Amino acid sequence: MPYLLDLPETDFKSRPILFIDLEMTGLEVEKHEIVEIAALLVHQPDFQVVNSFYTKVRPIHPQTGDPKSLKIINFSQKSWEDAIPLRQALQELADFAPNCLLAGWCVQNEWDFLNFNLEKEGLPYFYDHRLIEVFSLAYARFYHDPDMKFISLPKVARKLGIHLDQHKPDSDIRATYEIFRKLI
């Protein structure tokens, strides 16, 4: 598998941006599993959404999931009956957004889980090693706002008048994208 930094350099303004949100069975990369992937593929330079991606991923060891995380995502074996294997989900995601920039609310977490699982599955990286962190844009924008004592996706979405059904990855990623559009 090629090293992430060995990928060819490409003008950042010509890459598609993949706004991505993962739901996992917990936050520990080596212990927990990706169970949902939602993404929006955005074209530059107009930042228009050109496609969307959503899938549930079948966990291999759901019993190792953090009970709080499983409750937040409403995980049940029944609601994951049609989920696909991780390898298939990662391959479909790579085909959906080759040579992209990753973006998200706190996208470092997605980055960590993607890197770990691509390596585990022996699959190549399909994204650049630079990230667009929308939280950082919100931090800069609302730093001097006396009404913002804590910056979170729901608080920023509410402040900007953006609809959000929290911890539903398709809603989270659409809200993140809309926040990005309003803050750039």
CATH number at residue 60: 3.30.420.10
Residue 128 vs residue 137, higher pLDDT: 137
Is residue 160 included in any domain, yes or no? no
Is residue 74 included in any domain, yes or no? yes
Is residue 181 included in any domain, yes or no? no
Number of domains in the chain: 1
Is residue 44 included in any domain, yes or no? yes
Position 32 scores a pLDDT of: 98
Checking 71-74 for CB contacts under 8 A at 24+ apart, the result is 72/167, 73/23, 73/35, 73/36, 73/167
- Give the Cα separation of 45 and 182 in Å (integer): 15
Is residue 149 included in any domain, yes or no? no
For residue 124, what is the DSSP state? Answer: P
Is residue 43 included in any domain, yes or no? yes
Is residue 172 included in any domain, yes or no? no
Specify the 3-state DSSP secondary structure of 152.
coil
pLDDT tens across 41-91, in order? 999 999 999 999 999 999 999 999 999 999 999 999 999 999 999 999 999
Phi then psi dihedrals of residue 41, to 5 deg = -95, 125
Is residue 54 included in any domain, yes or no? yes
Position 9 scores a pLDDT of: 74
Give the burial class of 78: count Cβ atoms within 10 A of its Cβ; 0-12 exposed, 13-18 middle, 19 or more buried. exposed
3-13: b (≥16 Cβ within 10 Å) or e: eeeeeeeeeee
Structural domain of 120: 11-133
